[in-house]
């Protein structure tokens, strides 16, 4: 193991397998070959060490050997890809505004519609009014836009996948899984093919291995 790899293996990633934010962080870590210790967190029973590292208590969190703590998934993606980006996921200067705009729409309006579709009861319990059909329709506005982009090119970033694809795919997957039969019946063939390519690919398989809940004192699990 090189000195760089030794240093990286001392980094710790707090993660949760099904969280789309954690998924996109793991995708970038895998692509960059940035080896770290993976600690699987159970969100209903968060480990004290995890909360010590990040009071927000939200995955993913990457703790670097020098003590720096990265608490945002996009921040983690940018950090590891800046070190090594063999697949050229970081967009060229001319593409940055387009990529940033797509990710911002995904993380903002689309994620809000997704949550109110998937977790409507949580919002209703808080006394909020939620029209699930309207929220799903709102989410489909973004999906339809993605389908139009993918009708002109293979990936959101162009002929090759880039940060936009990898940052957005886990959330489209989450939306699709609310009702997969309904999703596949929609006129969004380009998005469905794009999602299927991701779900059947080696990268997705590699980041979705199941790990037991992390406990103090257990042997380190290295990822990738």
* Rounded CA separation 64/25 (Å): 14
Task: Reply yes or no on whether the pLDDT at 111 is more than 70.
Answer: yes
Q: In the chain, where are the structural domains located? A: 3-88+205-223, 93-201
Task: Reply yes or no on whether the pLDDT at 172 is more than 70.
Answer: yes
Task: Reply yes or no on whether the pLDDT at 2 is more than 80.
Answer: no
Model confidence pLDDT, tens digit, residues 71-107: 999 999 999 999 999 999 999 988 899 999 999 999 9
State residue 48 phi and psi, 5-degree precision.
Answer: -55, -40
Structure pTM? 0.93
3-88+205-223 domain in CATH 3.40.30.10?
yes
pLDDT at 126: 86
Q: For residue 155, what is the DSSP state?
A: B
pLDDT at 7: 42
What band does 125 get if pLDDT is binned at 50, 70 and 90? confident
Nearest CA to 78 out of 165, 12, 163, 156 is that of: 163
Pick the more confident residue, 122 or 164. 164
pLDDT at 24: 98
Whole-number mean pLDDT of the chain? 93
Question: Residue 183 belongs to what H/E stretch?
Answer: helix 180-184
63: left (phi over 0), alpha (psi -120 to 50) or beta: beta
Question: Residue 96 belongs to what H/E stretch?
Answer: helix 96-105
Question: Could you write out the three-class secondary structure of 68-90?
Answer: CEECCHHHHHHHHHHHCCCCCCC
Task: Reply yes or no on whether the pLDDT at 9 is more than 80.
Answer: no
Pick the more confident residue, 6 or 152. 152
Among 1.20.1440.130, 1.20.1050.10, 1.10.15.40, 2.40.10.10, name the CATH number for the domain at 93-201.
1.20.1050.10
Task: Reply yes or no on whether the pLDDT at 8 is more than 60.
Answer: no
Pick the more confident residue, 9 or 64. 64
* Rounded CA separation 114/52 (Å): 30
* Rounded CA separation 120/114 (Å): 9
pLDDT at 158: 85
- Residues with Cβ within 8 Å of 151's Cβ and at least 6 positions away in sequence, in order, are 190
Average pLDDT over residues 206-216: 95
């Amino acid at each position: 193991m090189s000195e760089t790899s030794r240093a990286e293996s001392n980094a710790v990633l707090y993660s949760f397998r099904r969280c789309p934010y954690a998924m996109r962080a793991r995708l970038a870590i895998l692509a960059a070959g940035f080896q770290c210790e993976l600690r699987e967190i159970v969100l209903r029973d968060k480990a004290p060490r995890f909360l010590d590292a990040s009071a927000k208590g939200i995955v993913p969190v990457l703790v670097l050997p020098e003590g720096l703590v990265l608490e945002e998934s996009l921040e983690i993606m940018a950090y590891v890809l800046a070190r090594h980006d063999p697949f050229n996921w970081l967009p060229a200067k001319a593409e940055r505004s387009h990529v940033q705009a797509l990710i911002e729409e995904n993380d903002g309006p689309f994620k809000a519609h997704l949550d109110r579709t998937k977790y409507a009861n949580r919002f209703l319990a808080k006394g909020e009014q939620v029209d699930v059909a309207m929220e799903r329709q709102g989410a489909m506005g973004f999906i339809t836009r993605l389908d139009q982009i993918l009708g002109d090119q293979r990936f959101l970033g162009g002929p090759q996948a880039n940060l936009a694809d990898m940052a957005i795919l886990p959330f489209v997957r989450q939306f699709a899984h609310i009702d997969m039969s309904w999703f596949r019946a929609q006129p969004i063939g380009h998005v469905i093919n794009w999602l299927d390519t991701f779900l059947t690919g080696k990268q997705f398989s590699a980041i979705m291995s199941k790990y037991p809940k992390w406990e103090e004192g257990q042997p380190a699990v290295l990822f990738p």
